[in-house]
Amino acid sequence: MTIEVPVDSRLGAPMRYYVYLEDEPKLADYRLGHAPQPGLCVVFICPYAVVSDASGQLYNVMRGIQGQDKGTVVNMGAYRLNGDLDAQCPMLFSWDDSPVSEAYSVTEDGEMVSFVGATFGFHFGTDTYRWTDAGGRVDLRARRLGQVCTYWVPEQAGYDHPLLLRNYVGKIEGAIDGTAVEGLFMLDYIFSRPDAMWNEIGMLSKLHNLWMNWLVEYEDGTLEGGYAWRGRPGTGFAAAHHYVDGRSIARSDPVIETVETERGTIRHVTVRMGELELVLEQFGSTDWPLHTCGTVSAISREKRIARSWNFTESFPLNWQSVMDYQAAHNALYGRYPSFQRLMQGGRIEQQRLVFAP
């Protein structure tokens, strides 16, 4: 069974959007009450990381503050990538060690704004960050690279909720279960109307198609990385944050192309931004079909790559129907359905999720 995509005739014209760099962030920017523009507030905060150990083994961790409701943090899981793209990677910790959903409190000490739950802690400073999880089995520290890049989509015909996304890119290091790791850190702050949840603002159903994050450490110790975002067909949306030579560049010219497996999982991603071209090799899937992680296998630079990391997210064009089902399940049973069971037997065809008959 294929889920059909609802058509909104008002989206016939390209979307109006803006991409720009922010000044140095202030501590107040990380508070839940921060309003970057009148009438906006935080609707979602998403930290995530792709790291590797000395052997090259890759891991992924990801959470979302206000992921399912305003008072909880959703856990997308911690995974060890195993090279299988068409099946779920093994989880590092059980849901007992790191529950799907937890309540949290917010504190501030003058240096960091902290979001803390029973098994995790996020401590956000202006340019440094600490992440503990699974009762301390994850302990990571990150530093920001470059400036904050902002993507602003104002309210317009066919897009009823304004969207402002601030993207922070960083280098992270620490330990997972006692094993030293390092890699890519990303932090997204998403703002919209105070009365909305982030999955109600149209981002997943009208704007978002594919984004990717990447970080390369060259043999000379220099770093290059960033974030590129492709909108749904017809939106004309293309935006990027490029960190290179110690500075950030806001761009609106990324071209992203993908190669998929037979099941429809992304295997390779090619990104072009001006003179830059890079290829991302995927080494495993987390919460299939949305996320894959891997390395940068090629880049149009003369310098040699010592280490690299990438995180790729692809949302099927008919994802709104999945969201509707999840919401209905929660309304009936007081809980969301198992995501992995829901996706069993599915495949992606022409960017649409198809369930087995």
For 226-259, how does the pLDDT look when each residue is reduced to its tens digit (9 = 90+)?
A: 999 999 999 999 999 999 999 999 999 999 999 9
What pTM was estimated for this model as a whole?
0.92
Element (H, E) at 319: helix 319-333
Q: Select the more confidently predicted residue: 318 or 152.
A: 152
| 4 pLDDT tier (thresholds 50, 70, 90) | very low
Long-range contacts of 80-85 (CB under 8 A, 24+ apart): 81/57, 81/283, 81/284, 81/286, 81/293, 81/294, 82/284, 83/283, 83/284, 84/284, 84/285, 85/261, 85/263, 85/265, 85/266, 85/267, 85/282, 85/283, 85/284, 85/285, 85/292
Integer Cα distance of 86 and 83 in angstroms? 9
The CB density around residue 343, as the number of other CB atoms within 10 Å, is 17
pLDDT (mean) for 50-76: 95
| 2 pLDDT tier (thresholds 50, 70, 90) | very low
Assigned token pair, 220: 């000379």
Where do the domains of the chain lie? 14-349
Assigned token pair, 213: 């994050």
Residue type, 23: D
Using CA atoms, how far residue 314 sits from 66, 118, 232, in Å, is 21, 31, 11
pLDDT (mean) for 138-153: 98
**Cβ proximity of 31 and 45 under 8 Å:** no
